[in-house]
Every structure is written in structure tokens, then in C-alpha cells.
């Protein structure tokens, strides 16, 4: 069974990932003894996912030679709003400042007040990066990176208790509800992270790495 170290400390994320990647043994950063804060200062979701995956792969090289066959995965995600030139984007979490998610969503809803649906476009984006195990002839492990999105519109009011973050105002017209009103299975089936993880799994299977 392939060991995958996922660059997260978030147990909820890990649960979701475990459902999508049943053929791997999944470990977290904490689980392999990596406790440093990784500075996510990239300009894109792909940059940030790669920064995290490389940091963990570096740690394994230096401190955990017993895991040299492990594959490292990292994700980075966020929300883009068309009427705000793609903001908050890679800054989705930092952009909150002192506000709660609820307050930030209410601010955005007020800012978009009066805009018709066709101008309320938004998407969740998720990039996933992989650093593959080093082969005999390579100094560095090869890298893969991909992105997937889910499209929605900014709702006119906050709805739903499920999910997290910006889910309660992310309205998906095809389903007639926000992602916070979906079951976990329903959201995983259509979400940016679910799609990106499944695409990465396909890629790893194609490469014979799973």
C-alpha cells in the first residue's frame, strides 16, 4: 500500500481525502513529526500547493528516510468573485481580517447589492500538488500539479448550516441551494476539492503510483 503524506493538519480534510483515496495509507504532517508553520506566500493556488508539498518532501528527505517511498500531496483552495476582480482568491482566509466568515459574507452581499445573477459569478478553486518519490537517478522527486473549480453565484442571503468558510453564500443554480445546504457526499461530488482529488487519483493510477 502506498503511503501518502498529505500536507495538512486538518482532520476534517483528511477524512474527506481518505474517502477519495482508499488505496493509500494517509498520514498528516503532524503524524510524521513535521510541526513547522509553512509560509504560503505564493501568487497562485498552484504556487501555494507546491510550496507546502515541497516543504514536507524536504522534511522527509532530511528527517524521515524511512518514508522515502512516500508520495507527498498538498492542496490550496479559495474563493474567486468575478465582481471583485477575482478577490479574495489566494487570500481567502487572510482576507477576513478580524471578521467572522458570516460578517465577511454579509459585507460581500452588501457590496454586490442590486447586481443581477449574471454578474454574481463566483467559483471555489482547488489546486493539488504532488511531489513523487525520488527515483534512483533523480536528485529531486518529480512534481505534478492540477486545479479544478466549482462554479456558483453569490447568494442574496446566507443559507445552510453545513460545510465551512464561505459555503453558506455559495449558491449552485443546478442544485438550487448553497453548498452549506448540501450533504457532505453531495458537496464532495461536485466540489473543487473533490474534483481535484479525484483527478489527482486518476493521474497517480495512470502513473502506476497507487
User: Could you list the active site residues?
Assistant: 76
Among candidates 145, 159, 83, which has minimal Cα distance to 114?
A: 83
| 178 near ligand IMP, judged by CB under 6 A | no
- For ligand IMP, the binding residues in 76-105 under the rule CB under 6 A are 76-79, 92-93
Q: Which residues, 6 or more positions from 30, have their beta carbon under 8 angstroms from its beta carbon?
A: 9
Q: Work out whether 153 is an interface residue with ligand IMP (CB under 6 A).
A: no
Residues 1-40 interacting with ligand IMP (rule: CB under 6 A) = none
Which of 119, 164, 173, 207 contacts ligand IMP by CB under 6 A?
164
Nearer to ligand IMP, 133 or 178 (CB): 178
Among 163, 177, 190, 203, contact with ligand IMP (rule: CB under 6 A): 163
Q: Looking at 18-26, 134-142, 163-171, 197-205, which segment touches ligand IMP (CB under 6 A)?
A: 163-171
The footprint of ligand IMP on this chain (CB under 6 A) covers a number of residues equal to 14
Cα end-to-end distance, the chain, whole Å: 8
Classify burial at 37, counting beta carbons within 10 Å of its beta carbon; exposed 0-12, middle 13-18, buried 19 or more.
Answer: exposed
Pairing of strands 71-81, 87-89: antiparallel
- Which residue carries 510524521 as its cell? 32
CA distance 34 to 2: 20
Q: Which three cell numbers stand for residue 71?
A: 508520495
43-82 footprint of ligand IMP as x/- string (CB under 6 A): --------------------------------xxxxx---
Part of the chain binding ligand IMP (CB under 6 A), chosen from 22-30, 50-58, 109-117, 161-169: 161-169
146 close to 128: Cβ distance less than 8 angstroms: yes
CA distance 77 to 185: 19
State yes or no: residue 168 binds ligand IMP (CB under 6 A). no
**Is the peptide bond between 161 and the residue preceding it cis, with omega within 30 degrees of 0?**
no
78/133 with CB nearer ligand IMP? 78
Q: How far is the CB of 76 from ligand IMP (least distance, A)?
A: 5
List interacting residues with ligand IMP (CB under 6 A). 75-79, 92-93, 124, 163-167, 191
Amino acid at each position: 500500500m502506498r503511503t501518502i503524506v498529505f500536507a495538512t493538519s486538518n482532520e476534517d480534510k483528511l477524512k474527506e481525502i481518505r474517502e477519495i483515496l482508499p488505496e493509500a495509507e494517509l498520514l498528516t504532517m503532524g503524524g510524521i513529526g513535521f510541526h513547522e508553520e509553512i509560509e504560503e506566500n505564493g501568487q497562485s493556488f498552484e504556487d501555494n500547493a507546491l510550496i507546502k508539498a515541497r516543504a514536507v518532501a524536504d522534511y522527509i528527505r532530511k528527517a524521515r528516510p524511512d518514508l522515502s517511498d512516500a508520495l507527498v500531496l498538498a492542496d490550496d483552495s479559495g474563493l474567486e468573485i468575478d465582481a471583485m476582480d477575482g478577490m479574495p482568491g489566494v487570500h481567502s482566509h487572510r482576507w477576513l481580517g478580524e471578521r467572522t466568515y458570516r460578517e465577511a459574507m454579509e459585507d460581500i452581499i452588501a457590496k454586490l447589492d442590486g447586481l443581477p445573477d449574471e454578474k454574481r459569478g463566483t467559483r471555489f478553486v482547488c489546486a493539488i500538488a504532488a511531489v513523487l518519490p525520488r527515483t534512483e537517478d533523480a536528485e529531486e522527486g518529480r512534481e505534478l500539479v492540477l486545479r479544478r473549480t466549482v462554479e456558483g453565484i453569490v447568494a442574496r442571503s446566507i443559507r445552510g448550516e453545513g460545510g465551512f468558510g464561505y459555503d453558506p453564500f455559495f449558491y449552485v443554480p443546478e442544485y438550487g441551494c448553497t453548498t452549506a445546504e448540501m450533504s457532505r457526499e453531495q458537496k464532495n461530488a461536485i466540489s473543487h476539492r473533490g474534483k481535484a482529488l479525484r483527478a489527482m487519483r486518476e493521474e497517480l493510477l495512470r502513473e502506476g503510483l497507487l
